[in-house]
Every structure is written in structure tokens, then in C-alpha cells.
Chain A
Amino acid sequence: MRQIRQAYHESRSAGSRAFAELLSEHVDALFGTALRLCGGNLADAEDLLQDATLRAFDGFASLRERTAGRAWLFTILMRTHFNRVRASRRRGEIVSSDLDQAAFEEALENWRPSATPEDVLSERELTERIAEALAALDPALLAVVHMVDVEGFPQRDVAKMLEIPEGTVASRLFRARGILRDRLAGTARELRLRRQL
């Protein structure tokens, strides 16, 4: 009995250490994501991160492959966040920017190329505008663009994380990038006009 207890404590200890190691590798990115999802509110972000971390700690034994740890942690963070949002707002899964296939194709068709803003905006200005544009996005669009474009997860993984079809990930990305582009282009236009005056 003593041996079983010792083995149990040792395995738990090893698990705790492995979990802490995994968490410490990704804690900054998880915090950044939580902060963005919580609209920049530090207390809410910490609360979300604590909640998600405890859930992850509970389920750590189910993580078979350590290499999948990053996606696994982010999945828990995203689902914890959206469960909270759903619980507080009791709103549906579908957001206004979700398009069916035909509508998505039509939106894609209507896209017109625009000049890149880098020739007008400095890197600092671009960073500020991107941060502002991200902060202003609908939470569903923000989640997708953050996970794909900022964190670099494959769209297929993000679809699984958020439990939405891949096509919806694509259409939300398209919409989010469109908003981002318009915002950057608007700022660039303003700057060009100011310089001409």
C-alpha cells in the first residue's frame, strides 16, 4: 500500500513538474491571448488564464503527446473564454460575419487589391494601428485572426479549437483581414493627405 501511495505521489509529482514546464514555455503567449480576448483588461485576463490553467492541470494526464501541448493549452484557453462569453451573454454561435459558401465566394469576388500601407506608415504606426484594429474586432473574428495570424496556428487546428467549420475560419479571417486592411489604408490615406497639404 505504501509503495502504491509512493508511486502515485511520484507520478503526480512528475506530472506537476511536466505541466509547470509546459505552462512556463507558453505562459506569455497564453497571457497575451487572454489579454486580447478580454479587451485589454488585465484582471479579467488573469482570471481567464487561471481558470484555463486549472482546467488544463486537471486534464493534463489526457495529453498524450507533449508536442501537442501548445495547441492543447490554447484550445482550453479559447474554450474557457467562449464558455464564459456564452454563459454571460447567452448568445448564439453564429456571428454576423459568418458567410455560407455562396456568400463567401461573392465577398471574395468583390475584393479589390489596394496599395500596401508600409510606404506611408512607420513600423511603430503600423503596430499601433494593428493593435487598435484587433482590439476593435468582433470577439469571434478576433479569436480567429489572433490564433491564425498572430499565433500562427494552422486554420484546420483553429477550426477544431473553436469547434467551427474550416470554411467559417476562412470567412472570419477574410472579414477580419478586410477590416484590418481598411483601417490601415484609412490611416495611410490620412497621412498622404496631410503630407500633401
Chain B
Amino acid sequence: MTTSCGKARRLLWPDAGPRAVTGEVEAAEQHLARCEECRAFLEEMRHLAGLTHHLAPRPQAPRAVKDRLFETVALAGTVSSGLRQRGIVRWLAVAAVIALATGLTLVWRAQRATAPDLMTVFVDDHVRATRGAGIASSDSGVVVRWLTSRLPFAMDVPRLPNLELRGARLWIMDGRRGGVVEYSTHGRSVSYFVVPSWPAAGPPSRPGDVHLTSHEGYHVAAWQEPGLIHALVGDLPEATLAELARLCMAKMMAFLDESRPRPTGRGSS
């Protein structure tokens, strides 16, 4: 059987995956053994493929693009797929951002001194967390590194008794960026928020105080340090959450001693 160069090259085209050894292919291989030009052709194809593979630029996604992408995914979890497929999700996202901005402006203007508004935000976010995007890991080192690369402040990932570390995600509101570490225990989830404080969050609590509140069956145990609000949110019994909060606070103090230069004049003892 005679085989032309064109046929041999088509049959032996590189990287085409496993091919059946037919009579035609055997003839093409015999042709290849005696045809230097065909060998050069196949070699050049491989060479060009390798050149492109190694030298084609591979741009990385900018962080802002990634953030928007993962926020869209998080939002998608709260919207039905039918709506998404019709492209309504973007409009909903825009509407949600406008509504959120309007709400925050109103809260800001009202300068309400009571804490429940922020606590409601925490609870809502905790509920949304079941659909959120972030990092899923039970390794506290991995989670700390993930948070550290995304937050403007150092955040600890404390080991808490009977709570299993599940991962972390970002909390973003009105340009403020905070971190949320997620735990679970016996099918229940607990979120640990560390977010920048703002006026609507209410008056600063005394160091060591844990503020307890409830909203729609969820409990919140919150405390503050200068510039930051910490909160544990979940549907565990209030006393359990308060105990965890105190433990968390103690670990936070230890973490601050180790990792952050303590600001002067700070009453954190």
C-alpha cells in the first residue's frame, strides 16, 4: 500500500490521542520511517505547539475581577436559576447594591445609637453564608493566609471547643471589608465576624464586655476592639455563644499580643 505524505501526516497527526492500528496507520508509519520530510513535519508541529504552550502570555485575573466574580456567585445562590438564565441577576445585583447603599445612608443619617441594626446585618449575612463563596478548609493556617491576603487588618482564626472549622469568606459592605470565619457543630453553623466598626454599629462597648442580642431565632454575641467589631452568630443557645465569645476574646487578646503592634493608650486588658 502506498501512502502519500499528506495522508501519512493526517493519519499520524500528533497529539490526536490513541488511534486504532489499522492497515492505513501501519502503512503511514512505514512511510514515516523512510520519509525525512514527514518526520520533520511532525517534529515541527510538536515544536510549534510547545513554543506556544510555553511562551503564550497567561494573564492573571485582577483581584477586583475575582472579587466581583465570587460576589456574583454568592449572590447567585440566593436567586432562582430561572431568573438568572434570563440575565436578571445583574439587575438584581445592581438593585441590591442601590438598596443597600440607600439603607446604609439612612442608617448613617439617623445616627442610631442602638446596636441591633448591625446585629441584624450580621444575622442576615450569617444566613446568606450557607450560599456564600470563599475558601473551604479545616486548616486554620490555610484560612489565616487566605484572610490575611484579603483583609486590611490581621485576623485570627481561633480554635473553639466543639466547633469544627469549615472555612472563611469576605464580608463587604459599603466599601468596608471584613472577614468571616465559619464553623459548624452537630449540623449547626456558627459565623465569626471581624469587621471595621462604623457609627451605626452603636456606642463602643467597654473592653471585655460581650453584647448579646437575638434576631429571628439567631443569637449574636458581639464585642469590640478599637476600630473593629467582633461577633459570633449562630442558633446555638445564647449562653453557649456567650461563652464561646469570651473564649474567642481571650484568644484574640493573645493573638494581638503576638501579631499586632499594640497601639499606645489602648485599654485592652
Residues on A facing B (Cβ under 8 Å): 6, 9-10, 12-13, 16-21, 23-24, 27-32, 35, 42, 46, 49-50, 53-54, 57-58, 101, 104-109, 111-114, 116, 118, 123, 126-127, 130-131, 134, 145-146, 148-150, 152, 154-156, 166, 170, 174, 177, 180-181, 184
The answer to whether residues A49 and B69 also contact, given A106-B6, A109-B5 and a CB cut-off of 8 A, is yes
Closest residue of chain A to B84 (Cβ to Cβ) is A54
Other A-B pairs, 5, CB within 8 Å; known A111-B9, A177-B49: A16-B131, A46-B69, A104-B6, A108-B5, A145-B52
Of the stretches B13-21, B110-118, B155-163, B207-215, the one at the interface is B13-21
- Name A31's contact: one of B9, B17, B65, B70 (CB within 8 Å): B65
Of the stretches B72-80, B224-232, B241-249, B260-268, the one at the interface is B72-80
Task: Please state if B73 and A108 are interface contacts (CB–CB under 8 Å).
Answer: no
The 8 closest A-B pairs by CB, nearest first: A105-B6, A109-B6, A31-B61, A20-B133, A149-B52, A108-B9, A17-B136, A13-B130
Task: Please state if B84 and A58 are interface contacts (CB–CB under 8 Å).
Answer: yes
Q: Closest approach, in angstroms, between the C-beta of A121 and any C-beta of chain B?
A: 10
A54 to B65, CA, bound (A): 14
Q: How large is the interface on B (under 10, 10 to 19, 20 to 34, 35 or more residues)?
A: 35 or more
Task: Please state if A123 and B55 are interface contacts (CB–CB under 8 Å).
Answer: yes
B66 partner residues in chain A, CB cutoff 8 A: 24, 27
Task: Please state if A58 and B68 are interface contacts (CB–CB under 8 Å).
Answer: no
Bitwise interface map of B from 47 to 69 toward A, beta carbon under 8 Å scored 1, else 0? 11101110111111100011011
Q: Closest approach, in angstroms, between the C-beta of A1 and any C-beta of chain B?
A: 15
A108 partner residues in chain B, CB cutoff 8 A: 5-6, 9-10, 41
B205 at the interface (CB under 8 A from A): no
The answer to whether residues A32 and B58 also contact, given A9-B130, A12-B77 and a CB cut-off of 8 A, is yes
**CB contacts between A and B, total, < 8 Å:** 165
Would you call the interface of chain B mostly helix, strand, loop, or mixed? helix
Residues on B facing A (Cβ under 8 Å): 4-7, 9-10, 13, 15-17, 37, 40-41, 44-45, 47-49, 51-53, 55-61, 65-66, 68-70, 72-74, 76-77, 81, 84-85, 89, 129-136, 166-167, 187, 189
Task: Please state if A10 and B16 are interface contacts (CB–CB under 8 Å).
Answer: no
A134 partner residues in chain B, CB cutoff 8 A: 52, 56
- Name A130's contact: one of B56, B69, B129 (CB within 8 Å): B56
Task: Please state if B49 and A148 are interface contacts (CB–CB under 8 Å).
Answer: yes
Task: Please state if A27 and B73 are interface contacts (CB–CB under 8 Å).
Answer: no
- Name A150's contact: one of B16, B48, B56 (CB within 8 Å): B56
The answer to whether residues A13 and B131 also contact, given A31-B61, A180-B52 and a CB cut-off of 8 A, is yes
